[in-house]
């Protein structure tokens, strides 16, 4: 093997002599990622270099390591270093490495949909900092860079206090005006404002859905986000929705409605946009009928409030809220008056299941077709149920727990429209009533509730359809009685665990791979 010794650095010459006599070379970060890299890669296996650099990934060097990995096509290093950059973006942009990138490289990075930034403000700030680092030669790139900054996602307060006064943007207010216009339209028409890539939140690596739980504690209804025993607060509702309902539109807009406020019946409705950078509950058009202990279902962006009671009188009336008109209107009533029932949406039909008619617990089911505006009876459940949970998963309607005329239940049954019959499946671990039930990651989650003695259950039961088994998870935080839940898109402020970038450790010439989770500055290895 021959090498040119012209202008060779001392350390490089030492490495060459050492390799000649021993057949070994010492790999360091400096010997790989500098002017000596070509020599080092030729001397040793590039995969060994990649494995070593994997252990050296940090916010100050990851861009340089990524460039090296791309140049030499080093195993999984290009992919893992890119993942590291996206996950630690907020730290990476604080170093000179980022400021030294070309305009093309910056655009490729900030145009990614899966960068982890809690606030879009960080993207805006890093673009402005990059421009000002070499303003005379970079100012012409402003329009192209700003196309990839999602200004509509930036809070209105930040836009008015920071972006409006930015000197680089004074020559063109078009970006700012469009962002402010989006905020205005979102306030006036929250459900129907048109979405574009610039108004769509980035979907960073990690879980994309969370559960918004409604719980009752110290005679007060509150809400909180939950995912795998990670908790995050939700803005306080303005009303006390005891015996009311929750539903969600487009996995983004949560509606709280009905129930009673400090002992009085109410028709209140308010909405929370979980994607908002400044989330708060906004008053909406109220229900036409006083309702509590009713059922609710969402179909084709319409919300149906079904049955319930307006005091001691059970109801069979139904009303629907259309997001396009922002109004409620009455539709065809059910055959049976029922409260404490469940509602499921399957094959574009609404199912009202079980409940209580004022005299007895029901096992009857009826189905509403919005296209025809008619209700039809369906097969009865094998068990009488009220205060139960109803949910649809993978084309199957599930009736879970609740109580009959005498006891709390842990039994579960499933209904397939194709067979037209209810079939019993595995029982839960505990009898439950007044609980929340959602579908997350293709699993049924039964949350909280009460047992037969009225004791609060601080646990979640998770049903796997493939194995027909229930697993039990204890809630890490006691918040009171959880009695409702909906699955929503992960809010931008939700502090989350993230999949850890693979950590490679070289030990006795063997590659040991650890995977783990990252939370703030702590890593949990598994």
pLDDT at res. 114: 86
Contact residues for 165 (Cβ-Cβ < 8 A; gap 6+):
none
d(CA 472, CA 461): 5
pLDDT at res. 456: 94
> Which residue positions in the chain have pLDDT lower than 70?
1-48, 75, 171-172, 204-207, 240, 260-265, 495-526
d(CA 244, CA 268): 10
3-state secondary structure 317-360: EEEEEECCCCEEEEECCCCCCCECCEEEEECCEEEEECCECCCC
Contact residues for 302 (Cβ-Cβ < 8 A; gap 6+):
320, 321, 322, 323, 370
Listed in order, strand segments (DSSP E) in 120-267 are 209-216, 221-227, 230-233, 245-249, 253-257, 260-261, 264-265
pLDDT at res. 398: 98
- CATH number 2.120.10.80 is the correct assignment for the domain at 209-489: yes
pLDDT in tens, 170-215: 756 788 888 888 888 887 778 777 777 777 878 765 568 999 999 9
Q: How far is CA 129 from the centre of its chain?
A: 30
pLDDT at res. 66: 86
Q: Looking at the chain, how many residues does it have? A: 526
Task: Determine phi and psi for 520, rounding to 5 degrees.
Answer: 50, -115
Angle at 362 between CA 360 and CA 364, to 5 degrees: 150
pLDDT at res. 8: 42
pLDDT in tens, 215-237: 988 778 889 999 888 888 899 88
What's the number of CA atoms in the CB half-sphere (13 Å) around residue 413? 19
How do the domains of the chain map onto residue ranges? 1-42, 45-100, 123-206, 209-489
| Closest of 134, 142, 261, 120 to residue 200, by C-alpha | 120
d(CA 270, CA 214): 14
């Amino acid at each position: 093997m021959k090498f040119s010794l012209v202008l060779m650095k001392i350390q490089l010459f030492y490495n060459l002599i050492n390799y000649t006599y021993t057949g070994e070379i010492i790999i360091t970060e400096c010997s790989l990622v500098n002017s000596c890299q070509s020599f080092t890669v030729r001397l040793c296996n590039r995969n060994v270099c990649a494995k070593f650099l994997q252990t050296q990934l940090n916010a100050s060097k990851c861009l340089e390591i990524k460039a090296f990995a791309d140049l030499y096509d080093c195993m999984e290093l290009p992919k893992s270093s890119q993942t590291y950059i996206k996950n630690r973006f907020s730290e990476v942009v604080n170093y000179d490495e980022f400021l030294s990138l070309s305009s093309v490289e910056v655009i490729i990075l900030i145009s990614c949909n899966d960068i982890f930034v809690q606030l879009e403000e960080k993207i805006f700030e890093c673009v402005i900092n990059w421009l000002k680092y070499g303003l005379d030669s970079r100012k012409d790139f402003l329009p192209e860079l700003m196309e990839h900054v999602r200004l509509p996602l930036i809070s209105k307060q930040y836009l008015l206090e920071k972006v409006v006064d930015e000197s680089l943007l004074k020559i063109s207010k078009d970006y700012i005006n469009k962002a402010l216009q989006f905020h205005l339209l979102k306030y006036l028409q929250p459900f129907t404002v048109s979405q574009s890539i610039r108004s769509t939140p980035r979907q960073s690596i990690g879980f994309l859905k969370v559960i918004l739980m409604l719980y009752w504690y110290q005679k007060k209804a509150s809400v909180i986000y939950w995912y795998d025993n990670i908790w995050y607060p939700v803005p306080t509702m303005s009303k006390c929705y005891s015996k009311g309902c929750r539903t969600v539109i487009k996995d983004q807009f949560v509606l709280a409605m009905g129930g009673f406020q400090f002992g009085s019946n109410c028709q209140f409705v308010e909405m929370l946009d979980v994607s908002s950078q400044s989330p708060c509950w906004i008053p909406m058009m109220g229900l036409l009928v006083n309702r509590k202990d009713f059922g609710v279902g969402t179909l084709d962006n319409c919300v149906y409030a079904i049955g319930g009671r307006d005091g001691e009188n059970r109801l069979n009336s139904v009303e629907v809220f259309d997001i396009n008109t922002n109004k409620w209107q009455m539709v065809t009533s059910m055959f049976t008056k029922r409260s404490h029932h469940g509602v499921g949406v399957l094959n574009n039909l609404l199912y009202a299941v079980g409940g209580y008619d004022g005299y007895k617990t029901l096992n009857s089911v009826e189905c509403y077709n919005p296209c025809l505006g008619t209700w039809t009876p369906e097969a009865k459940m094998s068990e009488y149920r009220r205060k139960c949970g109803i949910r649809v998963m993978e084309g199957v309607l599930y009736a879970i727990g609740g109580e009959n005329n005498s006891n709390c239940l842990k039994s579960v049954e499933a209904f397939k429209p194709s067979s037209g019959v209810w079939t019993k499946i595995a029982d839960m671990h505990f009898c439950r009533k007044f609980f929340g039930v959602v579908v997350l990651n293709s699993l049924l989650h039964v949350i909280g509730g009460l047992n037969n003695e009225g004791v609060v259950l601080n646990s979640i039961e998770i049903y796997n359809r493939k194995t027909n088994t229930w697993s039990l998870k204890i809630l890490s935080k006691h918040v009171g009685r959880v009695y409702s839940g909906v699955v929503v898109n992960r809010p931008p402020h939700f502090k989350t665990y993230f999949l850890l970038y693979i950590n490679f450790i070289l030990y006795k010439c063997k590659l040991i791979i650890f995977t783990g989770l990252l939370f703030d500055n702590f890593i949990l290895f598994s």
